[in-house]
Amino acid sequence: MQQPAESPALGLEFYGHAIRRQWLILVIGAVVGLLVGGVYLLVKPPHVLATTDVSISVITTDPFAATSQSTNILDGTTESSIATSYAVAKAAAADIGGSATANSIRDGVTVDAVSDKNVVHITYAASSAAAARTGADAVASSYLDYRGTQASAKRDKILDGLATTLSRLQSQLTTTNATISSTGHKSSAYNDALSQRDQLVTEINSLVEQRSELEQLDVSGGSILTPASSNPTHQSPNPLVVLLAGLLAGAVVGLIVLFPVNARDRRWRSAREVAGSTSSPLLGDLRSKAAEIPETGASLEVFRTIRERLIAELPADARIIAVIDDTTGPAATDVAANLAITFAQTGRLVELVLPGTPVELQRTITNSLSLGDIPTDTAAVPVGSKALKALTVYFPKAADGASAELITSAVTTHLTSAKTRRLSLLALPPAAPPSSILAALRLCDAVLLVAELDHSHADSARTLIGEAEGLGKPFLGTITVAHGRALASGSAATTPVAESVPAGE
């Protein structure tokens, strides 16, 4: 019977659970976003922006109209076009010198004309603050010079028109004065000449006044209100803003990606997930990556707790416990050995059966448990521990060196023919073939799983539980170990195995 799949959590708990399990994806997304921001800054290096503020003078062909306010006739678009024109850029490039060209100047300049005021902000972008300030001031000066030249030309044109008109009126006035002198005082021609002279004098005086005012007009084009050196510089794009934007964007992408990844990732990330996904007890959680035989300190207390839980859960007639190892090591973990030790310390006869154990691990266990001499022939037999009389260890020989069969007929006969009330722990190594696992389930009276966090899958555990239930064998629970937990190569116990209770039948 297959165990029911854990129902998905809802609300904030679901999101928090997914983020805790897949936090690495979130971190990778943020780091990738940060790197993309860095690459963008390498491809498009930031420029320093400097701004010069200028006040412009507006010249009109009708400068004397009372309604002609400069703010009303300022065209921001026109002024921006003038400031960014080729003529202005060419003059600025000549002023800057060096490698500056009109095109490079035009590429770096932007203009903001305030339409309701006679103010234009000229901004220039360069690779350094000094170059940006120099460029902004040069463009501003060239812009004002260009406007001044245009205003002067416009004034000169108006003055030329006034001069032509004055010359014509003065010629007419001379003719009129001659008529007055040669005509009788009481003739109609005399009176007409007097009237015409008065009109001409009025027009001439008006034009002379206009000419005087035009000659006094300021045709400088404007003035610099604030030079670039007095305005703060800015970087565009701002490196900090770009990097932060890349970091946040990458984190958001990682957050989006981690939810579908989490839905497909059935690996156990924490001991808390084990009980929920198997609907079976969590017997113990071994957090230390450094394993010993026998264990000491906090890990020893965990094994003792596991032992008591197993004693409470074991059927009364249980004699064989299958320990299925789902870790990444080349051989069975220390879990079965330390469980056997803690059971033997209660005085109960215990046998540790380790099929498929590499020679190096056999030596480690032999040294740690003070075992007797291990037979080298094919007729392997259990060997008792000199330090713990209630414990024996059995290293079955493989019937065929090329075969992956672990539960041989010798193992089956040995386990089923036992006459004592001993407890046998049949520990299969990691990556044991499915046939061997099924054979172990068939022989055992109960089964437990050793799972490695960040490796073992909930689906594999459910398959094991389903197989065990199909054979009528109770699943006692799961023992979790830290990822990478292993015995030190060639390590031997430094703490002697102590007997708590004398061994007994």
Do 421 and 327 share a structural domain?
Answer: yes
Do 289 and 195 share a structural domain?
Answer: no
* Mean pLDDT, residues 429-448: 89
Residue 366 placed within a domain: yes
**How does DSSP classify residue 385?**
B
- Which helix (H) or strand (E) covers residue 439, if one does? helix 434-443
Do 461 and 347 share a structural domain?
Answer: yes
B/e letters for 422-448, b = 16+ CB within 10 Å, e = fewer, are bbbbbbbbbebeeebbebbbebbbbbb
How much is the mean pLDDT over the chain?
Answer: 80
Could you tell me the CA-to-CA distances from 394 to 144, 275, 344, 356, 406 in Å, in that order?
100, 32, 15, 11, 13
Residue type present at position 197: R
Do 218 and 130 share a structural domain?
Answer: yes
Residue 256 placed within a domain: yes
pLDDT value of residue 331? 65
Q: Collapse the DSSP code of 82 into the 3-class scheme (helix H, G, I; strand E, B; otherwise coil) and give the result.
A: helix
Give yes or no for residue 2 having a pLDDT over 50: no
CATH number (domain holding residue 319) = 3.40.50.300
Residue 244 placed within a domain: yes
Q: How many CB atoms lie within 10 A of CB 134?
A: 22
Residue 2 placed within a domain: no
pLDDT value of residue 265? 65
**What whole-number distance in Å separates Cα of residue 339 and Cα of residue 294?**
9
Do 458 and 337 share a structural domain?
Answer: yes
* Mean pLDDT, residues 460-487: 88
- pTM more than 0.75: no
pLDDT value of residue 31? 93
Which of the residue ranges 106-115, 365-374, 455-464 would you say has the lowest mean pLDDT? 365-374
369 compared with 496, residue with greater pLDDT: 369
Do 122 and 30 share a structural domain?
Answer: no
Give yes or no for residue 181 having a pLDDT over 50: yes
pLDDT value of residue 505? 36
Residue 69 placed within a domain: yes
CA atoms within 13 A on the CB side of 322: 27
Residue type present at position 34: L
Could you tell me the CA-to-CA distances from 333 to 325, 386, 487 in Å, in that order?
7, 22, 8
Residue 39 placed within a domain: yes
Do 360 and 280 share a structural domain?
Answer: yes
**Domain-terminating residue out of 221, 236, 251:** 236
Q: Which pLDDT tens digit goes with each residue over 301-330?
A: 999 999 999 988 888 888 999 999 888 876
Do 251 and 201 share a structural domain?
Answer: no
| Percent of the chain scoring above 70 in pLDDT | 83
Contacts of 123 (CB under 8 A, 6+ apart): 49, 50, 51, 109, 110, 111, 112, 136
458 compared with 440, residue with greater pLDDT: 440
CATH number (domain holding residue 177) = 3.30.1890
Q: How many domains does the chain have?
A: 3
| DSSP code string of 350-381 | EEEE-TT--HHHHHHHHHHHTB-PPP-SSS--
Give yes or no for residue 200 having a pLDDT over 70: yes
User: Hunting for tokens 């129902």 — which residue is that?
Assistant: 7
126 pairs with which residues across the strands?
48
Q: Collapse the DSSP code of 234 into the 3-class scheme (helix H, G, I; strand E, B; otherwise coil) and give the result.
A: strand
Do 127 and 26 share a structural domain?
Answer: no
Give yes or no for residue 494 having a pLDDT over 80: no
* Mean pLDDT, residues 461-473: 89
Closest CA to 294 of 500, 146, 472: 500
CA atoms within 13 A on the CB side of 116: 0
Task: Map 247-292 to HEC letters.
Answer: HHHHHHHHHHHHHHHHHHCCECCCHHHHHHHHCCCEEEEECCCEEC
Do 451 and 433 share a structural domain?
Answer: yes
* Mean pLDDT, residues 344-365: 86
pLDDT value of residue 307? 92
Range of the domain at 256: 18-44+239-264
Give yes or no for residue 492 having a pLDDT over 70: no
pLDDT value of residue 504? 38
424 pairs with which residues across the strands?
320, 351
Closest CA to 461 of 267, 271, 276, 278: 278
Task: Map 109-130 to HEC letters.
Answer: EEEEEECCCCEEEEEEEECCHH
Residue 330 placed within a domain: yes
Strands 282-286 and 391-394: unpaired
Question: What confidence category does residue 62 fall into, taking pLDDT thresholds of 50, 70 and 90?
Answer: low
Give yes or no for residue 394 having a pLDDT over 80: yes
CB 251 within 8 Å of CB 257: no
Could you tell me the CA-to-CA distances from 11 to 273, 275, 324 in Å, in that order?
18, 21, 36
User: Hunting for tokens 């009788």 — which residue is that?
Assistant: 184
**What whole-number distance in Å separates Cα of residue 257 and Cα of residue 60?**
64
Structure tokens at 383: 């060997």
Question: Which phi and psi angles does 51 have, rounded to 5°?
Answer: -125, 135
Do 395 and 292 share a structural domain?
Answer: yes
Residue type present at position 154: K
CB 82 within 8 Å of CB 56: no
Question: What confidence category does residue 100 fall into, taking pLDDT thresholds of 50, 70 and 90?
Answer: confident
Which of the residue ranges 3-12, 270-279, 318-327, 478-487 would you say has the lowest mean pLDDT? 3-12
Give yes or no for residue 65 having a pLDDT over 60: no
Residue 143 placed within a domain: yes
Do 31 and 93 share a structural domain?
Answer: no
Question: What confidence category does residue 417 fall into, taking pLDDT thresholds of 50, 70 and 90?
Answer: confident
